[in-house]
Amino acid sequence: MKKILVATDFSACANNAMEYAMELAKTLSLQVHAVNVIGSMAGVHNNTYNAIFVDDYRKSLKGALEAWAHTYNSRDEYKDVSIITSLEIGSLSTCLKAYIEQNGINILVMGTMGTPGGITGLFGGNSKMMVEKTTVPELIIPLEGKFAASPVITLATDFVSTLSAEDMYALNELAAGLGVAKIKVVNVLEDGGWKTNPEGEEMLRKMLDKHTLEFYYISESNTAEGIINFAVSTNTDLLCLVHRHQNIIYRLFSSNTVNEVVEKSIKAVLVLHK
């Protein structure tokens, strides 16, 4: 894992996500890519296309992005972290997806501001949208989320989803780089039944062979609520979820469940992909 991408709109949420990303980059010796995306019509005044004005407008935005990145590099703790900045023009999802593919990005970092009724803030809905649009791990940082040097990591699983090789590598490297020896694994049982899954446990042990896994089974009528309650009770710092793309058969990690957890979590959420 070498590169992380931070999507910014210069908001408080984006600043907090950048802070988290810089700590992660410093710890794991990663390169940070800070990207600001603007619409193709941004800078067009009174619906009259003025090429000179638009060009100057975009240059000013590039300068603002570079200055924003410099505020982090100017701090002693981040002076050795490499930051690449880029102003992209177009739709957010299209630009970020293309940038990820073209630059070999390993993790996408976005900030959100969770509320009881859902996520607000410019990147709130967009962070959920990017879960659907990309297959790289997405690290979603709520405004209350702070970097922990020795985090408690919890992986929520249904023992059905098999993580992609890229996501498994990212999770292994992330946990190892942060010095995490144990990862908590929680399985939420919605049907009221109670059973363990030895085969599933063994599969995960092979996939996460650098770490000791602690398995927990809990009964909860709502999967998302069960995951969040477990994360709170165990002081989890980084909650990992598996997202299935275009699969409505399985309810456990459907888009709705992932969205509900992200909306309500006050800790960082790492969304992995099947």
Reported confidence tier of residue 51, pLDDT bands at 50, 70, 90 = low
pLDDT(207) > 90:
no
CATH topology agreement for domains 3-142 and 153-273: yes
Phi then psi for 221, rounded to 5 degrees?
Answer: -70, -25
Of residues 205 and 244, more confidently modeled: 205
Query: pLDDT tens-digit profile of 10-33?
Result: 999 999 999 999 999 999 999 999
- CA–centroid distance for 210 within its chain: 22
CA dist 190 and 199 (Å) reads 20
CATH number of 3-142: 3.40.50.620
Q: Sign of the C-alpha dihedral, residues 50, 55, 58, 59?
A: negative
Cβ neighbours, 10 Å, residue 243: 22
CA dist 48 and 163 (Å) reads 49
Q: Which residues pair with 218 in a beta bridge?
A: 188
Torsion of CA 169, 171, 172, 173, to 10 degrees: 80
pLDDT for the residue 267: 86
The mean per-residue pLDDT over the stretch 38-64 comes to: 71
Query: pLDDT tens-digit profile of 74-85?
Result: 999 999 999 999
CA dist 9 and 262 (Å) reads 19
pLDDT(112) > 80:
yes
Query: pLDDT tens-digit profile of 183-198?
Result: 999 998 877 666 788 9
pLDDT for the residue 250: 36
Here the tokens at position 262 are 């992200």
Domain spans in the chain, listed from the N-terminal domain onward: 3-142, 153-273
pLDDT for the residue 114: 57
pLDDT(152) > 50:
yes
Of residues 40 and 230, more confidently modeled: 230
Tracing tokens 């924003």 back to the chain, one arrives at 68
CATH number of 153-273: 3.40.50.620
Among candidate residues 262, 272, 38, 30, the one with its CA nearest the CA of residue 143? 262
Query: pLDDT tens-digit profile of 209-268?
Result: 889 999 999 988 888 899 999 999 999 999 998 876 544 333 344 556 777 887 888 889
